[in-house]
Amino acid sequence: MAKSSRKVPGLNASSMADVSFLLLTFFLLVSNMDVDSGLARRLPPPPQTEEQTSVDVQRRNLLVVLVNSQNETMAANQHSTEWYANEAELRGEVGGKVALKDRVKEFVLNTSNSLDLPELEEQDFGAPIGVVPVTAAHVVSIQNDATTSYKAYIAVQNEVVRAYNELREEGARKYFNSSYSELTDEQKDQINKLYPQRISEAEPKNYGGGE
């Protein structure tokens, strides 16, 4: 019975490292780590009936941001109308005009309780915020022409989103005494409810933006 005492020879595993290195380099080369990023938006559901397409919004609650075929931007509400010829003007860097984001912020906040800006309505937002007046019915309507370039459209979208982000940052500083990015999810929800992004992208019928 010599067989039973024989030892099983060990498997030579020295090439294992080489093989796994090969696999590793393959996956290293194949994988791409870049994460897609963009401006998130929510589209309205498709109209169920023919009549349902238009929603009546009071004139004072509406800020029309129109990007025309020359890629110029018009921001108009009941209070005033402003034209921006290019991106630098949009950001208020040249031309001495009030930047679009500041106009949006003024429009959303209506701190002066002006009759030409959206109506204020008292709402309860829970613990640290409490009952504060907000412009619950405001709408920023971004409209475009058929030949507007996508680049100009995104630049305008970006400025409007920037206005909301700055409002949220200011709200976080005021009520939670910290940066928006450092808030917990519930706190972020509260701030988002305080300053909801009410951006409407026009139905294609409304080209030209005549109201």
Partner 1 sequence: MPEMNTASMPDIVFAILFFFMVTTTMRSETLMVKVHIPTASEVQKLEKKSLVTYINIGPPTDARLGTGTQMQLNDRFAQVGEIQDYIAQEKASMNENDQPLMTVSIKADEDTRMQYITEVKQALRQAYALKISYSARKGDN
**Smallest distance from the beta carbon of 70 to partner 1, in angstroms?**
13
Q: Does 151 bind partner 1 (CB under 8 A)?
A: yes
Candidates 48-56, 114-122, 141-149, 188-196: pick the segment binding partner 1 (CB under 8 A): 141-149
The structure tokens 């004139």 sit at 59
Q: Does 11 bind partner 1 (CB under 8 A)?
A: no
- Residue 76's DSSP bridge partners are 64, 81
Q: Does 94 bind partner 1 (CB under 8 A)?
A: no
Q: Does 124 bind partner 1 (CB under 8 A)?
A: no
Instruction: Candidates 43, 122, 177, 210: give the one binding partner 1 (CB under 8 A).
Output: 43
d(CA 143, CA 4): 86
The structure tokens 């619950």 sit at 136
Residue 29: C-alpha distances to residues 21, 26, 33, 35, 41 (Å): 12, 5, 11, 16, 33
Contact (Cβ atoms closer than 8 angstroms) between residue 146 and residue 205 = no
The structure tokens 């005492």 sit at 5
Q: Does 144 bind partner 1 (CB under 8 A)?
A: yes
Q: Which residues bind partner 1 (CB under 8 A)?
A: 13, 16-17, 20-21, 23-24, 27-28, 30-33, 35-46, 67, 87, 91, 144-151, 153-155, 157-158, 161-162, 165, 201, 204
